Amino acid sequence: MSYYFYLARCRGGSLYSGSCKDIAQREEMHNAGKGAKYTRAHLPVTIIYSEHFKSLSEALKREAQVKKFPKSKKELLAKGKLSGKG
């Protein structure tokens, strides 16, 4: 099974970090108002970046790591100007 860490761009330009099994389905859930409380208040949501992992544990660890990044570093990651998984 595959798992993903992702960054989503929300209304107003904010970024949301999350983990999931299916990127497309997760984006649909967010935009249907069934996602996190934060994203429900900042629709629409577009997933702009993702990383693939073999386990949910790995994806959740990466999510926790990236959540600590300042927004400027998350933006670099999303633009491919910062190495992934590092």
Torsion 9-10-14-15 (CA) sign: negative
User: What are the tokens at 18?
Assistant: 């999350």
35-75: per-residue pLDDT in tens?
Answer: 899 999 999 999 999 999 999 999 999 999 999 999 999 99
- In the three-class reduction of DSSP (H, G, I as helix; E, B as strand; rest coil), residue 16 is classed as strand
Tell me the pTM: 0.93
- Reduce the secondary structure of 46-84 to three states and give it as a string: EEEEEEEECCHHHHHHHHHHHHCCCHHHHHHHHCCCCCC
- In the three-class reduction of DSSP (H, G, I as helix; E, B as strand; rest coil), residue 9 is classed as strand
